[in-house]
Amino acid sequence: MRWRSAALGVAWLCAAGWGIYYLVVVGRTNEAYIADAVLHFIIGYAWARAIMQPQYTMVFALIAIFLSGAYTRLAIGMGTAEIYFAWAGPLAAFALADRTTFRTIAYSISAFALGVIAFLWLNP
């Protein structure tokens, strides 16, 4: 097993677990938790696809890195114990990033930052 697959697997477990928690346990209390659960499932889908594909396109990798930034923002901003799992977003972003040239590193950092910024509005 490659380290990238293992890192993405751990990150996927975090996203899926918190998505189920938000949907099943606290989803009845606030609609924002349901939206958060849906976002966790979308993020988990992207990470799971990256685990199963031996190679993925640059566009897909950047989308998954963007979603890693979104996961980090969700983990920090939801006001639950998920804040202790915010490390899964940067871990997945690092595993998905192409670090061969300065340009691809800059794209990866930009995609992660955009993911964080894009979800600043989401708070329950």
26-36: per-residue pLDDT in tens?
888 888 888 88
Quick check: 93 and 112 in contact, CB under 8 A?
yes
Q: Is the pLDDT of residue 124 over 60?
A: no
Mean pLDDT of 59-87: 91
Q: What is the CA radius of gyration of the chain?
A: 14
Q: What are 21-58's pLDDT values in tens digits?
A: 999 998 888 888 888 899 999 999 999 998 888 777 88
pLDDT at 1: 56
Quick check: 115 and 67 in contact, CB under 8 A?
yes
Task: Supply the mean pLDDT for the chain.
Answer: 89
pLDDT at 119: 81
Quick check: 45 and 90 in contact, CB under 8 A?
no
pLDDT at 54: 74
First to last CA, the chain: 38
Q: What are 107-121's pLDDT values in tens digits?
A: 999 999 999 998 887
> What CA–CA distance (Å, rounded) separates 109 from 93?
9
pLDDT at 68: 95
Q: Is the pLDDT of residue 66 over 90?
A: yes
pTM: 0.89
> What CA–CA distance (Å, rounded) separates 90 from 37?
19
> What CA–CA distance (Å, rounded) separates 8 from 91?
8
